[in-house]
Amino acid sequence: MDNLWLILSVFLQLHEGCSSQISVIQEPSAVVSEIEKNVTLNCLFTHTPDQMVTGPILYWYYGNDELLYPHPIPQYKNRVIVLNPDRNSSNRSILLLSVQWVDRRKYHCMLSYEKSGQGARTRGKGVTLLLYGPMTFNVSSESQNSLVCNITVSPHDGFHLAVLCGGLEVAQGQRHVYSKFTVLSAVVHEGVECECQLSLNSSMVLTRSYTRKSKDVSSEELPQPVMLYVAILLIPILITVIIAIAELIFEARNTRSRKRGRKQWSQQNSKTRVKE
Ligand SMILES: *[C@@H]1O[C@H](CO)[C@@H](O)[C@H](O)[C@H]1NC(C)=O
Ligand SMILES: *[C@@H]1O[C@H](CO)[C@@H](O)[C@H](O)[C@H]1NC(C)=O
Ligand SMILES: *[C@@H]1O[C@H](CO)[C@@H](O)[C@H](O)[C@H]1NC(C)=O
Ligand SMILES: *[C@@H]1O[C@H](CO)[C@@H](O)[C@H](O)[C@H]1NC(C)=O
Ligand SMILES: *[C@@H]1O[C@H](CO)[C@@H](O)[C@H](O)[C@H]1NC(C)=O
Ligand SMILES: *[C@@H]1O[C@H](CO)[C@@H](O)[C@H](O)[C@H]1NC(C)=O
């Protein structure tokens, strides 16, 4: 989709070029990456031969004039690689190495050049770099019955975390906002096959699955002391129930051979039968 859009916009730009449009295109306008990864920031410089553009000089910067390329400020030293070394190439994309939380910002690509002997410059609309940390999706440390999904992301309202179990959304991420980043976390209390999804403006960024082993469910449901307590309570109840059932069967089939201790009860029982 992005590529199609890029081709389409380049196509349109080239046609507009007839009315002498020199442009710097930065598409996509937002890039999402895991921290510590290398990220490509695209920049396309378009013009036609009849526009007589010569001596293009590439600049990448943020803010007003904090340079990444050339002559980078310390934060970007040895971290920017121009992907196409040919200065005349239209492709002026860069690779930013090992991105960190502080790299979250909007970057501009700009070209300065000569056109018919006159100095000129053109800037792109910028690309916003957004970041996320590793996603954890596992049983909670507090309760084996809960699944917790959490992830740290750059501050941006478009990030959304959701947990789906058996294809249905069962939880949404809560937001914990800190100065340099936001933590999204969602808790699920049941479900065997679940998936945690991070999306940005409704497009999926990453997913992680968790499959609970059925063995875990049965053994973890009741902690052992509770099991023991229940078992101790259950044994006498079970015995009583078994005796009662046995007695009922015994009495129904063989009313004559009663035991002494239960005479009264049996007599009442046979009286009701006589009335019938
Ligand atoms: C990033 O790029 C550098 C230089 O090209 C390379 O050495 C490194 O392995 C890359 N790192 C990742 C995470 O791809
Ligand atoms: C620019 O060149 C780099 C390296 O050759 C490539 O990865 C990237 O896709 C190109 N970008 C565009 C917009 O063509
Ligand atoms: C770039 O283009 C100019 C003018 O079209 C030419 O003189 C120069 O040799 C080219 N440079 C490269 C590296 O191709
Ligand atoms: C998930 O939690 C279990 C139990 O707390 C632990 O043994 C396991 O290593 C965790 N898995 C991951 C991928 O962190
Ligand atoms: C995510 O959850 C794990 C396990 O519950 C916890 O150890 C970790 O600190 C959490 N991370 C964040 C960023 O909240
Ligand atoms: C997300 O959507 C909002 C509003 O629709 C828009 O302003 C913003 O630029 C978008 N962000 C990204 C990263 O696509």
Tell me the whole-structure pTM to 2 decimals.
Answer: 0.71
Token pair for 204: 């999926």
**133-219 — its CATH code?**
2.60.40.10
Query: What class is the 2-130 domain?
Result: mainly beta
What is the per-residue pLDDT across 25-58, written as a single tens digit (0 to 9) for each?
999 999 999 999 999 999 999 988 888 888 999 9
74-91 per-position pLDDT tens digit: 999 999 999 998 998 999
Question: Do the domains at 2-130 and 133-219 have one common CATH topology?
Answer: yes
Q: What pLDDT is attached to residue 218?
A: 45
Higher pLDDT, 27 or 232: 27
Query: What is the number of the ligand 5 atom nearest to the C-alpha of 133?
Result: 13
CA triple 252-253-257, angle to 5 deg: 95
Q: What ranges do the domains of the chain cover?
A: 2-130, 133-219, 223-263
Ligand 6: residues whose CB is within 6 Å?
30, 158, 200-201
Contact indicator for 222, 215 with CB cutoff of 8 Å: no
Atom of ligand 6 nearest to the CA of 157: 1
pLDDT of residue 164: 94
